[in-house]
A = this chain, B = another copy of it.
């Protein structure tokens, strides 16, 4: 008898990735499609299509979405157009696929992937920091994923570092994400260029045929020491470092995993830079705090979503 396969789906701001995952967390096959702009129904269509083309007779589906998820409902999805009210995505998908569906926040799910099969394997107390369009996060506490009352625990992106600081997408001021998300960094670059600064970021973006300053664009600009890219990125790393230190003071974890698109491109070097930025803000007792880059790359979300489905059901 073949082992039960589970599909893990990672819904991102740019792409939706789906993979067929074995019980040992190996990914057997992958499918990918652009995230449609048409709101929840279009996203459901895409997930249904991807699961169908993967085949493999899966017994369950896990899905990570870039929003707050609680009890099978997607409460808010700030980074996808058309998600204006809570959606019962799990019930909808179960109807379409005739399979049990588990739902989680994308960063929580990414951290879960790294925890079951990646760089955080075996760790008991972990903060995940997921760097993409926004800054997501997740927590493993006392050897278990911890998601809080509304499924929103670990939101490192909205940890405050400066009361009355920079305006954040969430409407508050001084959040980590106001300095460190790709959206915030792109906004800063736009303002600086408008004020006369010169940068190669937009030229690289156009050369790569991208609409936005993607992680790949940032990695390239940083590799060639573009001064504006270096400056804006340094401010982002500083904000992440302070926010992580703040989170570590509160949760007393000993492991920080850095994941998401930027971590995939920049690897352990980025984790090391965040460690250096966090250092002045940590208490003495946190001297042995480890900062490690996610190890599964693009797969952490897919592997984590599948693991979530396995943990939620009996498969």
Which residues does A use to contact B, with CB under 8 Å? 68, 75-76, 124-125, 141-142, 144, 146-156, 158-163, 170, 172, 242, 245-247, 249-254, 280-281, 283-286
Contact partner of A156 (CB less than 8 A), chosen from B142, B242, B250, B253, is B250
With A and B bound together, what is the CA distance between A247 and B152 in angstroms?
A: 12
Are A68 and B285 in contact, CB atoms less than 8 angstroms apart? yes
The 9 closest A-B pairs by CB, nearest first: A148-B252, A153-B252, A149-B254, A152-B252, A160-B246, A158-B249, A150-B285, A149-B252, A161-B163
Residues of B with C-beta under 8 A to A68 = 285
Known: A141-B146, A160-B249. 17 other contacts (CB 8 A): A76-B284, A76-B285, A125-B149, A142-B146, A149-B253, A150-B252, A150-B285, A153-B251, A153-B252, A155-B283, A159-B250, A160-B246, A161-B163, A170-B283, A172-B283, A246-B246, A250-B251
Residues of B with C-beta under 8 A to A149 = 124-125, 252-254
With A and B bound together, what is the CA distance between A254 and B147 in angstroms?
A: 12
Are B125 and A148 in contact, CB atoms less than 8 angstroms apart? yes
Q: Among A125, A247, A251, A286, find the residue whose CB has the most chain B CB atoms closer than 10 A.
A: A251
With A and B bound together, what is the CA distance between A285 and B77 in angstroms?
A: 13
Contact partner of A250 (CB less than 8 A), chosen from B153, B284, B285, is B153
Residues of B with C-beta under 8 A to A150 = 252, 285-286
Q: In the assembled complex, how far is the CB of residue A119 from the closest CB belonging to chain B, in whole angstroms?
A: 18
With A and B bound together, what is the CA distance between A68 and B150 in angstroms?
A: 30
With A and B bound together, what is the CA distance between A75 and B245 in angstroms?
A: 20
Q: Among A149, A284, A285, find the residue whose CB has the most chain B CB atoms closer than 10 A.
A: A149
Can you list 28 contacts pairing A with B, beta carbon distance less than 8 Å? A141-B141, A141-B146, A141-B148, A142-B144, A148-B252, A148-B253, A150-B252, A150-B286, A152-B249, A152-B252, A152-B283, A152-B285, A153-B251, A154-B252, A155-B249, A155-B252, A160-B242, A160-B245, A160-B246, A160-B249, A163-B242, A163-B281, A172-B280, A172-B283, A246-B246, A250-B250, A250-B251, A251-B251
